[in-house]
Amino acid sequence: MAFSSIIRRATPLAIQVLKTQRNYTSAIFNPLKNTITATTTTTYSRKTFLPTTLHFSSLPQKSLEDDKDLLVVIDEEIKCAIESNEHDRKEEIPEGFPFEIQDKARETIILLKRKFQGEDISVEVYMPPLVTGEDDKDDDNSENSTQMSIPLVISVSKDSGQRLEFGVTAFPDEIQIESLTVKEANAPEDEITYDGPDFLDLDENLQKAFHKYLEVRGIKPSTTNFLHGYMINKDGREYLMWLKNLKKFIGE
């Protein structure tokens, strides 16, 4: 009887506690539920009304039009390069030219090779430097000297592996030695060696003797004048090939 009385008195309190817990739970989860619902609705709404076609549909088409314009310009440049005919001109090898010419496409140099009295002689021949309009304004003489000059690196090797290496700039009817270095056989690449004084600081008679040394081995003005014309033609051929490779890439 007492126990039943306790239960009856406790029941309203328990119900009140349960109600409080439910209200507390609702206070926590209802706003969260509303937030989730609102977020979901907003996300859906954004996905539904996002005008994606207006923002991105024109970009690929515009890119293709730009590529076509570029191809037109490249075609015009190819026609100009062909009409110049520089790449088609063939320089006649001078009589008695002592070197074998090794010329590989896509390279900016050619290599000359020959043997001379037990020596191996190789010459790296580089493209002539570009002449700009500013050079013309500064000095008319500098235009000719720059336009007609070609850089050379000449190596004369012995059976021992030692070699002399000359840095040369060749002008019309004149060869100018810029540097002279003795290279040891199997020397480490990172070795810092004494390369001698500036060539122009040498005794004048010694300078003349080394010019004669190169001339005997085939490095003389008649040789370098031929090489200048050869490298101009090579530059034209390489430029045309470069343009055609560009056209092929853009057109794919």
Give the β-pairing of 119-126 and 100-102: unpaired
Angle at 112 between CA 106 and CA 115, to 5 degrees: 150
Calculate ∠ Cα 70-76-80, nearest 5°.
145
Q: Work out the percent of the chain whose per-residue pLDDT is above 90.
A: 47
Q: What is the mean pLDDT of the chain?
A: 76
More confident residue, 67 or 146: 67
The residues, ordered by sequence, that sit 6+ positions from 52 with a Cβ below 8 Å of its Cβ are none
Structural domain 100-248, CATH architecture: Roll (3.10)
H/E element, 164: strand 163-171
What pLDDT sits at residue 191? 75
Tokens of 100: 């074998």
Angle at 110 between CA 109 and CA 115, to 5 degrees: 140
Q: Which residues pair with 179 in a beta bridge?
A: 167
Tokens of 160: 């021992």
Say which amino acid occupies 131.
Answer: V
The phi and psi torsions of 100 (rounded to 5 degrees) equal -90, 130
Question: Is the pLDDT reported for residue 150 higher than 60?
Answer: yes
Q: Tell me the pLDDT tens digit for each residue of 196-246.
A: 889 999 999 999 999 999 999 999 999 999 999 999 899 988 999 999 999
Assigned token pair, 227? 């090489």
Average pLDDT for 75-102: 84
Six-digit token string for 104: 């590989």
Beta bridge partners of 166: 154, 180
